[in-house]
Structure 1
Amino acid sequence: MDKLSFAGLVIGLVAILGGQVLEGGHVSSLLQPTAFLIVVGGTLGAVLLQTPFVVFKQGVSMATWAFKPPVIEQKRIIDQVMQWSQLSRREGLLALENFVPAIKDPFTRKGLQLLVDGADPERIRSLLEVDVDCFEEAHKQAAKIWESAGGYSPTIGILGAVMGLIHVMENLSDPSKLGAGIAVAFVATIYGVGLANLIYLPIAGKLKYYVSRMVAAREMVIDGLVGIAVGDNPRIIESRLRGYLR
């Protein structure tokens, strides 16, 4: 559980709502269902229009990473590669075949199978790098839906503000309706800017960070397997892989 994400969200909300109270305002004045519907619904519609459903679905499911990060065990990868390196140095590459069925990660299992099958080191690298590139592109596209939402949300908020002002202008002769229209106008802008800068863009940034770490973990696997394939000393392989940790 990423406590920093929870802390950041809470601090941001408390600062904004606390500032509203300190200025003599009421928190209830920021609760405008109409403005919320305009901003959230409009932003969702814009994101859906630009994004294929598969990408949108993956992006939504990845949002949980902001609060519950994916498991990225880089140190375990180093230990695993070192075990394979030492065993292959003593008994040959075929001795690694027994490890293949037990590997849960499809990417690592594919790479180790290529190594056991005696594939050329450069062939191993090129085949696995295709998988890494596709993985990175797919996950970055999914993360971008939140970045897109962060771009659309303030604009939709301004649209809500204009709609509220139009409502005000239509009811200038009826002062009882002016307050609601003005409230929607200003609160819609707050929702648009607030959601973009407190929710959408921070989530996009954190998802991109985790995607880059997951890509680095896969590159570690590639470097380790290629090092074993070319017959590098286990200490050299370990030194190279530990560079990723820095």
Structure 2
Amino acid sequence: MDIATIIGLVLGIGFTIWGIMSSGSLIDYYDFPSIVITLGGTVASVFISYSLSDIAKMGKVFQKTVLYKIDSANEIIADIINLANVARKEGLLSLEEYASKLDDEFLKKGIMLIVDGTDPELVRNILETELVFLEERHSQGQGILESMGSAAPAFGMLGTLIGLVNMLQKMDDPKAIGPNMSVALITTFYGSFLANVIFIPLALKLKLKSKSEVLIKELMIEGLLSIQAGENPRIIEEKLKTFIPPEMRTKVKNQGEKEVA
């Protein structure tokens, strides 16, 4: 579970509510027509821009921002070093048994390609092609959230314009100007809140998670090809440690030694 996402959402919503209640009441900021215009318009814009199959996946996209856990680079490097030691002692064919115990389907697929004697260049091409389509699938979810982040303020402004038109039509009643102006501005508030507290931050979080996952997959490809080439496990370890920050490299060594033992 991504605790940072939950904390961010709670703080964003909490501080907004605190700011409202410190000088007014939540009831004053409730206007159902404004909600319909802002949120309904944003949803309508997404339906126009994307297919139903893409929209149907949005539940998983929102779930991924909170629940999806990226594999630790330390753990993956330790697994690959362990596999390299096994391959060196027992041969590449022995990796098939170990592959069945792995949870990562991408790593498992790469191992099976090696066990089947696939040409190294073909192994790289197959795995990199799958990586390209992985990024494409990720970009679709990010794109929908980014579209919602762009549409929400626009429909908020649209609601404000509608409210201003209604207000100007009642200029002969001075007492109605204040309430109507307040309602007109609420839609802008809704749009800005949805975009900057929910949609845009979640899209950025997905983008960062996608980059981290792609980096892990690239690390796997390099490690698998090194195993297939029969490289020394220590050399493989040094090569894979270049994918991660220096401050994490001692942890990899300790964990790798534990796994091999």
- CA–CA distance in structure 1, aligned partners of residues 68 and 208 of structure 2: 10
Report what 1:12 is aligned to.
12
- CA–CA distance in structure 1, aligned partners of residues 71 and 52 of structure 2: 27
C-alpha displacement of 1:179: 5.0
Q: How does 1:1-246 map to 2 (within 5 A)?
A: 1-22=1-22, 24-173=23-172, 178-246=177-245
Q: Secondary structure at the match of 1:135?
A: helix
* Segment of structure 1 superposing worse, 42-51 or 4-13: 4-13
TM-score (structure 1 length as normaliser): 0.90
Name the aligned partner's letter for residue 147 of structure 1.
E
C-alpha displacement of 1:146: 0.8
Change (3 A) 1:115 1:164: same
Name the aligned partner's letter for residue 55 of structure 1.
D
- CA–CA distance in structure 1, aligned partners of residues 83 and 4 of structure 2: 36
Change (3 A) 1:15 1:49: same
Name the aligned partner's letter for residue 240 of structure 1.
K
| 8 Å CA contact 1:63, 1:207 repeated in 2 | no
- CA–CA distance in structure 1, aligned partners of residues 26 and 97 of structure 2: 63
C-alpha displacement of 1:76: 2.2
Percent identity of equivalent pairs: 33
List gaps (5 residues or longer) in structure 1: none
C-alpha displacement of 1:176: 6.3
Q: Secondary structure at the match of 1:122?
A: helix
C-alpha displacement of 1:28: 2.0
- CA–CA distance in structure 1, aligned partners of residues 4 and 91 of structure 2: 46
TM-score (structure 2 length as normaliser): 0.86
C-alpha displacement of 1:180: 4.8
- CA–CA distance in structure 2, aligned partners of residues 59 and 139 of structure 1: 11
- CA–CA distance in structure 1, aligned partners of residues 116 and 18 of structure 2: 64
- CA–CA distance in structure 2, aligned partners of residues 56 and 179 of structure 1: 39
List gaps (5 residues or longer) in structure 2: 246-261
| 8 Å CA contact 1:34, 1:184 repeated in 2 | no
Name the aligned partner's letter for residue 18 of structure 2.
G
Name the aligned partner's letter for residue 159 of structure 1.
L
Q: Secondary structure at the match of 1:20?
A: helix
Report what 2:259 is aligned to.
none
Name the aligned partner's letter for residue 19 of structure 2.
G
| 8 Å CA contact 1:120, 1:229 repeated in 2 | no
Name the aligned partner's letter for residue 71 of structure 2.
I
Name the aligned partner's letter for residue 186 of structure 1.
L
- CA–CA distance in structure 2, aligned partners of residues 67 and 151 of structure 1: 22
- CA–CA distance in structure 1, aligned partners of residues 203 and 12 of structure 2: 17
C-alpha displacement of 1:159: 0.2
- CA–CA distance in structure 1, aligned partners of residues 2 and 87 of structure 2: 39
* Segment of structure 1 superposing worse, 96-105 or 213-222: 96-105
